[in-house]
Structure 1
């Protein structure tokens, strides 16, 4: 009887929390639709949302389209999305084929008031955009210094929409660039406290290539293009959990080659692929562990967590990775500690 009551109490708590989140989202949505003299901005991801919000300040109302742990790679338009897109004065999306759900992708590229910040980056800094084979890697936000280079297209679009506040946006973009530069250096310092021979990362899917190049590789590896050994993942650019025996063996060989002892799950990606790798290694008498907490990549953390903003999620990822790769320095970080 006590067990039933305890279970019922837990279910009630979960339901209450879920209802509170839904109510908060509905309130935000209602306010965003209200006419209040502010520029109404829709972003596809929360990472872009954070940049736009910082630059726009109190002159804008921003709303992310893809929330929670939804996958931006496969997101399809749902009821109500058409109204949001129609209401928005400006739309900012990642591009580089991140939002490749057919219904969403087509609509975004048809809108004249929509800006693909990743496509802008590809045009202005083509040498810094990565490819896996012939497929462009869209995860540009995982390198803070690179993501900062999209600020001009946001600032320009806001200034064009609201010329009277051009200097306001210019000043805020300058401050944001400074803040992102500091974060970039901080993340790099955190990870370079890990000995070079231990700075290897394996996660669920290919979301950390930019991160590895910026924060795990040596300067010489970046210069020669040999940095890619610093990161591997069993799944491709868009997670699908479909692994072949060849995929599993490739990762196992990589783990053995670089004496990697831990692999990292991601917050919005199934751990099935990682568990298959662990099972395969254990079947051969080896040992590998899955990190105690999940990294943030395609999705940010819940409100109140250490990953609930773009700046916080990158710092948290760095600290979590460093503590697992080199626990001798200060122990393994606890989830959202």
Structure 2
């Protein structure tokens, strides 16, 4: 009987996987069909969300790196070249986020591709972080900084579709207002946490901009002292191997600042933070992993608490604040916001 059940389960899995692939292929075909709208391709969901908001019903927007795929290491797959050829405008994060060789080469060869983070770096070089001699590409983690991509999205649309320029300008203005409100909400959420508890440890180095904008005190933001507010065992791209030295550094940091909770991320393995918990236990520390993963390099699926950029950032703020404010006794019982 067991082989029959196993075969049935495998058949269901293959069927559902095939259905999912067919559905995605159908979406791509519909996106490619000429309908008078601008065809916009964005590498990440966060960029795509802003591109859709500015373009409204005058654009058809599609995201290249879907679901929880890692944008740091994404390589072009069969069919991606057709998407690039069909796109009127291509938006990507830049700042070496998309550093898979085939994707990076294509992005910088396309004349209709806009590296939004690179453009921000040109406009505001002092606001871009350099971590261990690498540009930090996670600019969306500071809502006020990420909103600076909106004028560049508006300009790209106006250059391609000048007759509808006022439409794009107005939608860009309204979106900047909404992001300004979201920035204030995130800041207010974290301000409720006492400064001595406002320290964050996550799976990989994606929250530096978040720490500078929302965890640090005002006086810390002016220098580099905000950096103690955030640590992660893995680097800017979550693909490094942890050494005993890396683990010890995180444990020492958590002991120094009395940090007891580690936050997983929705699209990153928890292996590294589990190693931290085990190592902390050997040194007599009581550490735990938060039940609710944060959104970092990927937004949530449709219908989730992170299915738009603003919802993702507000969810992160509420989740972090809730866990940092909890007592040690109640920390492991915290529910997702």
Name the TM-score class by shorter chain: over 0.9
**Which has the larger displacement, 21-30 or 151-160?**
21-30
Mapped partners of 1:248, 1:13: distance in 2: 41
Q: Which residue of 2 is the match for residue 236 of structure 1?
A: 235
Q: Is the counterpart of residue 50 in structure 1 residue 79 in structure 2?
A: no
Mapped partners of 1:191, 1:8: distance in 2: 50
Q: Which runs of 5+ in 2 are unaligned?
A: none
How far did 1:19 drift? 5.4
Structure 1's consecutive aligned runs of 4 or more residues displaced over 4 angstroms after TM superposition are 7-21, 330-333
- The answer on whether the counterparts of 1:201 and 1:263 sit within 8 Å (CA) in structure 2 is yes
Change (3 A) 1:69 1:217: same
Q: Which residue of 2 is the match for residue 291 of structure 1?
A: 290
How far did 1:13 drift? 7.8
Mapped partners of 1:100, 1:266: distance in 2: 20
How far did 1:16 drift? 7.0
- The answer on whether the counterparts of 1:53 and 1:60 sit within 8 Å (CA) in structure 2 is yes
How far did 1:334 drift? 2.6
How far did 1:302 drift? 1.2
How far did 1:21 drift? 4.2
User: TM-score by structure 1 length?
Assistant: 0.94
Q: Is the counterpart of residue 193 in structure 1 residue 192 in structure 2?
A: yes
Superposition map of 1:54-69 within 5 A: 54-69=53-68
Q: Is the counterpart of residue 334 in structure 1 residue 311 in structure 2?
A: no
Mapped partners of 2:120, 2:164: distance in 1: 25
- The answer on whether the counterparts of 1:241 and 1:273 sit within 8 Å (CA) in structure 2 is no
Mapped partners of 2:223, 2:184: distance in 1: 22
Superposition map of 1:9-158 within 5 A: 18=17, 21-158=20-157
Change (3 A) 1:313 1:281: same
Superposition map of 1:163-178 within 5 A: 163-178=162-177
The number of equivalent residue pairs is: 333
Q: Which runs of 5+ in 1 are unaligned?
A: none
Mapped partners of 2:271, 2:53: distance in 1: 37
Change (3 A) 1:287 1:145: same
For each residue in 1:136-179, what CA deviation from the matched residue of structure 2 results, as whole angstroms up to 9, or x when unmatched? 00000010000000111110000000001000000000000000
Q: What is the Cα-based RMSD across aligned positions, in Å?
A: 2.0
